[in-house]
Amino acid sequence: MSVIVTDNGFQADDFDGDIVALAEAAEGAVAVELAPDADPQALAGRLPTLQLIAVEFPSFADGRGFTTARQLRLMGFTGRLRARGHVISDQYAMARRSGFDEVEISDDLAARQPETEWKFRADWDRHDYQARLRAG
Amino acid sequence: MYRYNDFDDAFLAKRNAQFRAQVQRRIDESLTEDEFRPLRLMNGLYLQLHAYMLRVAIPYGTLSADQMRQLALIADKFDKGYGHFTTRQNIQYNWPKLPEVPDILDALAEVNLHAIQTSGNTIRNVTADHFAGAAADEIADPRPVAELIRQWSTDHPEFQFLPRKFKIAITGSPNDRAVTRAHDIGLRMVERDGEAGFEVIVGGGLGRTPVVGKVIRDFLPRADLLPYLEAIVSVYNTLGRRDNKYKARIKITVNENGLDAVRDKVEARFNELRPLFKGVDQDLLAQIEAHFAAPGFVARDEAPYELAYANDPVFRSWADTNLAAHKAPGYAIVSISLKAHGQTPGDATSDQMRLMADLAERYGYGELRISHEQNVILPHVHKADLPALHAALKEQDLATANIGLISDIIACPGMDYCALATARSIPVAQQIAERFDALKLEHDIGPLKIKISGCINACGHHHVGHIGILGLDRAGVENYQITLGGDGTEDAVIGQRTGPGFAYDEITDAIERIIRTYLELREDDGEAFLAAYRRLGADPFKAALYPEAAKKNAA
Ligand code: HEM
Ligand code: SF4
């Protein structure tokens, strides 16, 4: 099982569709998972029909997913964007600032890094140099 | 100089509080060492041979007198009374204790300093020409742009877990003192048809695969800088290799994919990102520029300088080597050597730091700089004050007249401190300096850059030393390879290996043989070592280094 983290803390997964790997996703799929090395351009044209995209993080040290998230937002994706896998609480602000709505972590990780550690960064939209440089 | 505003202060306080919590969570084990590692690295904390090492950023090499005093205080309170200035405009403390590190960071924050992104796979401390804002040959002061880049790269959410570290250097002068061609991104401020912009160089680097950077954009308008940088780093984040850390730097990405393919991707990403920057960054840049306004230079009588220069040979020798041309009449740029013969290159004691801070206040508008050659600079001193300054420096063994000479050696920490070292480097630097001091040949030899690294990671920049020394481990014995002809300036060249290496107790003799060959063969004393090497080629030096092989070839 897994835990979904948002600004409000831990919650169970309330998305009730199937999230399928992009390669196996049929025409009308509403939720897909992107592998760490997937090019977001592969989803060009399909974004309006997608409700959720999950981007896989194989290791917390692999930061490709942050760029993938930004790309998807730049391409106009407005649905639910989820970081899934080995993301640690210290990366929560980075994930939110890059365009993710939520993070999905394993129960193990949730036990080791409890909710308070994640909520410590729920103020991710404050003290942000990037927002300052782009505002207006 | 840049002074933090409320935003910067609040950001740093918050960041330090986060790191304090991370240290606590490491101690109570909710973070594994594996997970703590990148977090401590992002805050400048390394685990070294003997202890933790804290690397503090000196943004673009600029320090105020107050900041220097605080560095001295930290050296006394949390370390063994000294600090080590590095080739990347950082200061390293070699003996901090983990539970005290958050207190050190708070002490740094009091004077607008931090250790953020001085290590880890992220955008590192931006380095700049150490003569910025003072040099006679400068087009524009690069420091406001460097500060803008610091703010943009700090805590950038997309770029904290890159394939590998990422270093940016900037120069505002055609004479490149910032080694821009040996950085992941090098920026040279240029003008075209009256418009200010940058030449953007990408994919340079030293380390085990030395590569001279290539021009990816020959003219980038000034206002396009941040989106263009963001495009490069963003493309690198997806394209850079993560399967082999020795192939992860952008220099390899560029070599494997080709410059043109990388450029195409960067330009495409740039077109997407450009509209997001609506000009607020340029307003901010204008505000930052106001912080760097030049001091009010004054016209004064230079007679005290002339008098000392004519009558005091020790002062004259120091003035001849340690001063550089200033843009304001009557002023000089003073380099204070941290390379007293026999000392550890780049080390300064807390007393020395305090003296330099006091002198900066008394004679230099309160400003100091740290050079990538591990020396300290007082950028704005009136010539009339030089005799008094020189006398004061002598008191703390800071008046060594060797800037740019054979004993002004860059050496990495090597086996004395570094866990990755394969050989000692500091004692080699000390021996060479002492040898040529004893021979009294230093000033006769003239400009010469010796650079020493204690392993192939090349922290000592040996590839771009006129003479480079690389310490290796051959079956448990230290062995030193020599390279000749390297150059870190705008014409960057990687030095060539001479042949088999030398043992620890042979390396100083080998360097002396190279120097004696040069002295014998140079056209006159105006022909510096590098020029002579370029004219003569490697052969006469190889013959001097390997007489046996030369004899065999002749027979
Ligand atoms: C003492 C502990 C140190 C360790 C463990 C260390 C580690 C490393 C490693 C592993 C590399 C190679 C990275 C790569 O090419 O991907 C490297 C490169 C480098 N380091 Fe260090 N270093 C240390 C100290 C220093 C010091 C004291 C300086 C400055 C004097 C320094 C400046 C550099 C520079 C300039 C490079 C150049 C290579 C490049 O970026 O292309 N390092 N270091
Ligand atoms: S060159 Fe090698 S020995 Fe020297 S500091 Fe770098 S990693 Fe350590």
| pLDDT of residue A135 exceeding 80 | no
Nearest to B237 among A61, A63, A127 (CB): A63
B374: amino acid identity, one letter: Q
**Model confidence pLDDT, tens digit, residues B12-68:** 999 999 999 999 988 888 888 888 888 898 899 988 766 788 999 999 999 999 999
B35 interfacial to chain A (CB closer than 8 Å) = yes
A81-122 residue pLDDT tens = 999 999 999 899 999 999 999 999 999 999 988 999 899 888
The count of residues in chain A is 136
Q: How many CB atoms lie within 10 A of CB B552?
A: 9
Measured between alpha carbons, how far is B119 from B532 in angstroms, rounded to an integer?
A: 38
Whether B412 lines ligand 1, by a CB cut-off of 6 Å, is: yes
Report the pLDDT value the prediction gives residue B282, as an integer from 0 to 100. 94
Residues B165 and B275 in one domain: yes
The structure tokens 């002339």 sit at: B306
The percentage of chain B sitting over the pLDDT mark of 90, rounded to a whole number, equals 82
Residue B222 class from Cβ within 10 Å (0-12 exposed, 13-18 middle, 19+ buried)? middle
What is the per-residue pLDDT across B157-171, written as a single tens digit (0 to 9) for each? 999 999 999 999 999
B127-128 vs B168-171, strand pairing mode: parallel
The C-alpha torsion from B47 through B337 and B133 to B82, rounded to 10°, is: 30
Same domain, B369 and B447: no
Q: What is the pLDDT of residue B553?
A: 67
- The helix/strand/coil state of B245 is helix
| Shared domain check, B451 and B379 | no
Q: Is residue B6 part of a domain?
A: yes
pLDDT in tens, B154-209: 999 999 999 999 999 999 999 888 889 999 999 999 999 999 999 999 999 888 88
From the list B465, B452, B471, the residue with the least C-alpha distance to B411 is B452
Work out how many CB contacts closer than 8 A connect A with B: 97
B345 and B206 both lie in a single domain = no
CA of B92 to the centre of ligand 1 (A): 12
Helices B6-27 and B33-42 sit at what angle, rounded to 10 degrees? Answer: 160
At B554 the pLDDT is 61
| Averaged pLDDT for residues B506-529 | 96
Contacts of B34 (CB under 8 A, 6+ apart): none
pLDDT tens digit string along A19-47? 999 888 877 889 999 999 999 999 988 99
A88: closest chain B residue by CA: B35
pTM: 0.90
B346 shares a domain with B260: no
Residue B196 and residue B111 share a domain: no
At residue B400, the 3 state secondary structure works out as coil
CATH number at residue A83: 3.40.50
| CATH number of domain containing B491 | 3.30.413.10
Q: Identify the domain containing residue A59 by its residue range.
A: 2-135
Tell me: do B415 and B547 sit in the same domain: yes
Looking at chain B, which residue has its C-alpha nearest residue A120? B18
Average pLDDT, chain B: 93
| Mean pLDDT in residue range B100-113 | 95
* Contact check, Cβ <8 Å, A120/B10: no
Residue among B92, B103, B116 nearest B348 (CA) = B92
Residue B167 alpha carbon, nearest atom of ligand 1: 40
Q: Is the CB of B249 under 6 A from ligand 1?
A: yes
Nearest residue to B220 (alpha-carbon basis) of B274, B141, B156: B274
How does pLDDT run across B311-320, given as a tens digit for each residue?
999 999 999 9
| Residue B379, both tokens | 């950028």
Residue B329: CB atoms within 10 A of its CB come to 9
- Average pLDDT of the residues in B505-525: 96
pLDDT range class, residue B555, cuts 50, 70, 90: low
Does any domain span residue B134?
no
- Please tell me the predicted confidence (pLDDT) of residue B532: 97
Supply the DSSP string of A1-61, one letter for each residue: -EEEEETTEEE-----S--EEGGG--TT-SEEEE-TT--GGGGTTTGGG-SEEEEEESSTT
∠ CA B76-B79-B84, nearest 5°, is 100
Task: Say what the pLDDT of residue B548 is.
Answer: 83
Task: Say whether both B279 and B308 belong to one domain.
Answer: no
- On whether both B48 and B94 belong to a single domain, the answer is yes
Mean pLDDT of the region B410-434 = 92
pLDDT over threshold 80, residue A15: yes
- Side-chain-side CA neighbours of B290 within 13 Å: the count stands at 7
Total domain count for chain A? 1
Do B389 and B415 lie in a common domain? no
Answer whether B344 contacts ligand 1 (Cβ < 6 A): no
Indicate the Cα dihedral angle A95, A98, A100, A101, nearest 10°.
90
Q: Determine the pLDDT at residue A136.
A: 56
CA of B240 vs chain A CAs: smallest distance (Å): 10
Q: Which domain holds residue B379?
A: 303-395
Element (H, E) at B322: helix B313-322
Encoded tokens for A51: 């409700």
- Per-residue pLDDT, averaged over B446-468, amounts to 94
What CATH number does the domain containing B109 carry? 3.30.70
User: What's the total number of domains in chain B?
Assistant: 4
Domain co-membership, B151 together with B285: yes
